[in-house]
Amino acid sequence: MQPLGTSRRQASETRVEHDSMGEVQVPLHALWGAQTQRSYENFPIGSEKMPREIISAFAQVKKAAARANCRLGKLDSHSCELICQAADEVLAGDWEEMFPLAVWQTGSGTQSNMNMNEVLANRVNQLAGERIAHPNDTINMSQSSNDTFPTALHVAATLALRRRLLPAAGHLCDVLRRLEQENQGVVKCGRTHLQDAVPIAFSQEISGWRGLVEGSCEEIEKSMAFLHRLALGGTAVGTGLNAPSGFAEEVTAQLAELTGEPFVSDPNKFRALTGKDAVVFSHGAVKALAANMMKIANDVRWLASGPRLGLGEITIPANEPGSSIMPGKVNPTQCEAVTMVAIQVMGNDATIGFAASQGNFELNVFMPVIAYDFLQSVRLLSDAIMSFTDRCVVGIKANRHQMDENLHRSLMLVTCLSPEIGYEHAAAVAKKAFKEGTSLREACVSLGYLSAERFDEIFHPERMV
């Protein structure tokens, strides 16, 4: 379906559109207009495009704005209905190829806002069969790029956390909870500083992993309260110029209804336009989850190390050959994927922090890269957690024989003797046993600290958990 041209048709491949700077050749099939085309031509930088999540959030913003403008008497109901229909088509993914702009564009995201305005205006005109919508006057009514982009950023971030990351983390917690139940009563050696420590139940160790994920989810949930505050209604510099009275509250209510999230109008639009601290704070919680996933993945691959010359206390699924030269080798590849994603998220966090510090005067002009990195972090971490859970964690099996053998060879079991013989004597027992390669029982009895019978009465590793 071809959009309506604004002047003459050129050959069979392009049409001429115009904006305030003059005429521009636009592909004939494109729903976008002159400003999108200028951005497409002026920023041939990299392969990173504006994230799909931002495009969807913009469509929701425009739909909410149309409804608000209609309720406030600024927009007729017929135009509102067609704008909502066109926005719904974008949300359904019908026009993905019509949003071709690079992340590396104007730092305000103006051209992405205009990309959406132009696509919706042309689509509305197609649906109406006549020219009733203008990108600026109709679709962008009561708005500015300066308040719509930060709003789209908050909406996209909120929905990505709610619909992708939190469910993925919740799925991991469910699997870990099952593993806890399956490993009740299994006692193994604990480790601190990568050295032998006192015993721990394997179910307790797993519960620690689950607690790390659940704690991060709680932090993410709390951070979303700040993402729920929206800049929409502040227009160009926060004053609300050209927006009708009550627009900020009405459009935010519409967005809340459309998304199911408790969005509210930020009470300080000047802060909302220039400050990106809410995104920094929320991504910090995402980074915390990434850090915890790094720890869990490392624990799993350490415990599974071997199969003969490592710890070998658990087995994990063998998903693919691990070497092109060593036959039979299998590696903890899901753990490696998680750890690579974790450091990518940490790098993104540094970029977001630097970008957020650049809110000069009434606007931050690093918003596209903030949006790209935040959403990449959420997307990667969500996918990595799901893959790690379904291809590794579900298949974790305790090697009970190896756990028991390692436990009874641990010198730190001597800790249970401290209340009976004192710290210094217990240390002497451990050092003697290590030096001579004997058991703690033999060392303790030979030093004369306890009789063999008394040692056996006290020494029960399984009770130390």
**pLDDT digits 0-9 by tens, 119-162:** 999 999 999 999 999 999 999 999 999 999 999 999 999 999 99
SS (H, E, C) the chain: CCCCCCCCEECCCEEEEEECCEEEEEECCCCCCHHHHHHHHHCCCCCCECCHHHHHHHHHHHHHHHHHHHHCCCCCHHHHHHHHHHHHHHHCCCCHHHCCCECCCCCCCHHHHHHHHHHHHHHHHHHHCCCCCCHHHHHCCCCCHHHHHHHHHHHHHHHHHHHHHHHHHHHHHHHHHHHHHHCCCCEEEEEECCEEEEEEEHHHHHHHHHHHHHHHHHHHHHHHHHHCEECCCCCCCCCCCCCCCCHHHHHHHHHHHHHCCCCEECCCHHHHHHCCHHHHHHHHHHHHHHHHHHHHHHHHHHHCCCCCCCCCCEECCCCCCCCCCCCCCCCCHHHHHHHHHHHHHHHHHHHHHHHHCCEECCEECCHHHHHHHHHHHHHHHHHHHHHHHHHCHHHCEECHHHHHHHHHHCHHHHHHHHHHHCHHHHHHHHHHHHHHCCCHHHHHHHCCCCCHHHHHHHCCHHHHC
Taking the C-alpha atoms of residue 37 and residue 25, their distance in angstroms, rounded to an integer, is 8
Residue 413 main-chain phi, psi, to 5 deg: -65, -15
136 and 353 Cβ atoms separated by less than 8 Å: no
Domain contains 207: yes
Tell me whether residue 439 is one of the annotated catalytic residues. no
Give me the mean pLDDT over the 37-47 stretch: 97
Residues 365 and 425 in one domain: no
Residues 281 and 167 in one domain: yes
Domain contains 44: yes
Name the band, by pLDDT with cuts 50, 70 and 90, for residue 1.
Answer: very low
pLDDT digits (tens, 9 = 90+) for 430-459: 999 999 999 999 999 999 999 999 999 999
Q: What is the CATH number of the domain that holds 391?
A: 1.20.200.10
Residues 216 and 355 in one domain: yes
Catalytic position from the list 12, 47, 77, 193? 193
Residues 298 and 359 in one domain: yes
Residues 274 and 307 in one domain: yes
Domain contains 243: no
Q: Which of 399, 419, 442 is the last residue of a domain?
A: 399
Domain contains 246: no
Residues 430 and 458 in one domain: yes
Residue 78 main-chain phi, psi, to 5 deg: -65, -45
Catalytic position from the list 7, 29, 78, 323? 323
Domain contains 237: no
Residues 164 and 279 in one domain: yes
pLDDT over 70 at 21, yes or no:
yes
Residues 385 and 452 in one domain: no
Chain mean position to CA 364: 22
Give me the mean pLDDT over the 408-430 stretch: 96
Domain contains 289: yes
289 and 220 Cβ atoms separated by less than 8 Å: yes
pLDDT at 12: 54
Please give the model's pTM, rounded to 2 decimal places. 0.95
Taking the C-alpha atoms of residue 115 and residue 7, their distance in angstroms, rounded to an integer, is 19
Residues 429 and 458 in one domain: yes
Q: What is the CATH number of the domain that holds 419?
A: 1.10.40.30
pLDDT digits (tens, 9 = 90+) for 69-105: 999 999 999 999 999 999 999 999 999 999 999 999 9
Domain contains 307: yes
Domain extent, residue 136, equals 9-141
Count of domains for the chain: 3
Q: Which of 377, 399, 421 is the last residue of a domain?
A: 399
Q: What is the CATH number of the domain that holds 126?
A: 1.10.275.10
Residues 69 and 175 in one domain: no
Residues 313 and 335 in one domain: yes
Tell me whether residue 171 is one of the annotated catalytic residues. no
Residues 369 and 418 in one domain: no
Domain contains 241: no
